[in-house]
Amino acid sequence: MSVVTDMVRHKLTPSSLPKWKQVLALARHKGILRPRDLDELGIAREYLNKLHQEGFFERVGRGLYRLTDGEIGRFAQIAEIAKRVPKGVICLISALDFHELTTQIPHQIWLAIPPKDRAPRIPYPPLRIIRLAERPLHFGVETHTIDGVDVKVFSAAKTVADCFKFRNQVGLDVALEALRDCYRQKKATMDQLWKAAEVCRMTNVMRPYLESLT
């Protein structure tokens, strides 16, 4: 479904509106805009920069704009990264934080990408890149809407298994805390945890900890 069709379906912006109102309505619908998002409205991309200069938008990254009066959510930086790296999946500490499975405060965005993809060059927010093979990269991916942006985040079970796989980077204590909280808070079933462990080839590592929960 095109941007225009989706907006009409939600009665957001009739084509009879002035250009600037169409762009503002699109921004409220999508959360974060890139100049190319204006293409389907038939509005020149330069119009977005003009509205930025007039104070309607703030630039939150290279080629990324958000309404200046828009509410900035807790996970706004994750939304920015998702907009700029659509093939990436939020993982490890950032995913734990999203699922409320850690006391750690992420100072960077942990992002999983395909093994052969070039690492995105984004000065801010800071990124921590993890490369995953095809099966673990596509397993357990959930899509959540954050500030109007579709963001791919690994499920709670997959995130826990990833933490064991990358325990040398995140710490075994973090992985164990996440596993206990995940099961206690019922954010994943035992079957889901075992399946995630199998996909991440962590079955033997996680077995004693999983068995201790039952």
Q: Considering the chain, what is the average pLDDT of its residues?
A: 86
Residues 80 and 97 in one domain: yes
Confidence band for 162, pLDDT divided at 50, 70 and 90: very high
Query: Which residue, of 39, 67, 95, is where some domain finishes?
Result: 67
Contact 96, 163 (CB under 8 A): yes
pTM here?
A: 0.69
- For 175, the 3-state DSSP assignment is helix
Confidence band for 70, pLDDT divided at 50, 70 and 90: low
pLDDT at 182 over 60: yes
Per mean pLDDT, which range of 68-77, 81-90, 114-123 is the poorest? 68-77
Residues 129 and 162 in one domain: yes
Residues 114 and 203 in one domain: yes
Residue 101: closest CA among 189, 194, 177: 177
Q: 149-154 and 109-113: which strand pairing? A: unpaired
H or E stretch including 170? helix 167-170
The domain tally of the chain equals: 2
**Which domain range does residue 12 map to?**
3-67
Q: How far apart are CA 60 and CA 76, in angstroms?
A: 10
Buried residues in 41-63 as b, exposed as e (16+ CB within 10 A): bebeeebbeebbeeebbeebbee
Residues 164 and 206 in one domain: yes
Q: How far apart are CA 91 and CA 32, in angstroms?
A: 21
* Edge-to-edge order in the sheet of strand 109-113: 127-131, 109-113, 89-90, 149-154, 141-146
pLDDT at 84 over 60: yes
Query: Which residue, of 17, 39, 67, is where some domain finishes?
Result: 67
Residues 120 and 193 in one domain: yes
Q: How far apart are CA 121 and CA 69, in angstroms?
A: 28
Percent of the residues in the chain that have a pLDDT greater than 90, as a whole number: 50
* DSSP annotation of 102: -
